[in-house]
């Protein structure tokens, strides 16, 4: 199979750093500027110290934006608890951290699919690839965190790139997402390692020209995809 023809670059701005009082307008502007999907950070104050928003906010946003791809990044201690509410809210992909639920990853994956959503598995920086290897075939996407989850504006961790490289080498057509400190200065490392789904928060949200930043990120990733040498 032609990897270049099959693996697609997708840019998903994290809206956490947007003006949450203008969530719909900010989200629509990102989509109008070329974003492929919206990355919605859900934090429970337990798995990570911060709290953000939950399914009622996502449901309201879905009513205003009926057709966009919504990925919820569930930084929560009990991901199973929120599967049905998020499915009801119109989430497209449910990405959860494996760390608090290592013994139950498979049943949770199954319940997510039964609820009609795609499955994403997320790894904190300290979590090695070995922890997720047995589950990769049951996921649509693997998220490699390039900062500690729970806070925006952290410095990108280049030493996470070997995880991305291993995944790309062993799963040429897998969707591999990176999240944390990703912007114009760090996208080369992500692209060369093999990431094709790019979450970028402040670099896009705070840009004077969001369209230009999204286009630049896409160009860098697509160039690496077409080289087919990751």
Q: Which residues are catalytic?
A: 41, 179
What is the DSSP secondary structure assignment for residue 201, as one 8-state letter? S
Q: Using CA atoms, how far apart are residues 181 and 178, in angstroms rounded to an integer? A: 9
3-state secondary structure of 180: coil
Q: Using CA atoms, how far apart are residues 66 and 174, in angstroms rounded to an integer? A: 26
- Tokens 């992909």 belong to 93
Token couple for 111 = 């319940």
Q: Which residues contact 164 (CB under 8 A, 6 or more apart)?
A: 144, 176, 178, 190, 193, 194, 195
Measured CA angle at 156 (ends 145, 163), to 5 deg: 45
- Is 42:75 a contact under the CB 8 Å cutoff? yes
- Is 150:49 a contact under the CB 8 Å cutoff? yes
């Amino acid at each position: 199979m032609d990897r270049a023809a099959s693996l697609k670059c997708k840019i998903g701005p994290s809206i956490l750093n947007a003006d949450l009082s203008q969530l719909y307008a900010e989200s629509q502007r990102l989509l109008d500027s070329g974003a492929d999907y919206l990355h919605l950070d859900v934090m429970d104050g337990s798995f990570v110290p911060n709290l953000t928003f939950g399914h009622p906010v996502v449901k309201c946003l879905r009513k205003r934006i009926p057709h966009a791809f919504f990925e919820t990044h569930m930084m929560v201690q009990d991901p199973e608890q929120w599967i049905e509410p998020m499915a009801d809210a119109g989430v497209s992909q449910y990405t959860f951290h494996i760390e608090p639920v290592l013994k139950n990853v498979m049943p949770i994956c199954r319940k997510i699919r039964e609820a009609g959503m795609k499955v994403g598995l997320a790894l904190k920086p300290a979590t090695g690839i070995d922890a997720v290897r047995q589950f990769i075939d049951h996921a649509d996407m693997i998220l490699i965190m390039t900062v500690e989850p729970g806070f925006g504006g952290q410095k990108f961790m280049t030493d996470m790139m070997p995880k991305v490289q291993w995944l790309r080498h062993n799963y040429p057509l897998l969707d591999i997402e990176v999240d944390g400190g990703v912007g114009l200065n760090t996208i080369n490392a992500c692209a060369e390692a093999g990431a094709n789904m790019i979450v970028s928060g402040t670099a896009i949200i705070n840009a004077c020209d969001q369209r230009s930043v999204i286009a630049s990120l896409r160009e860098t990733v697509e160039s690496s995809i077409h080289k087919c040498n990751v």
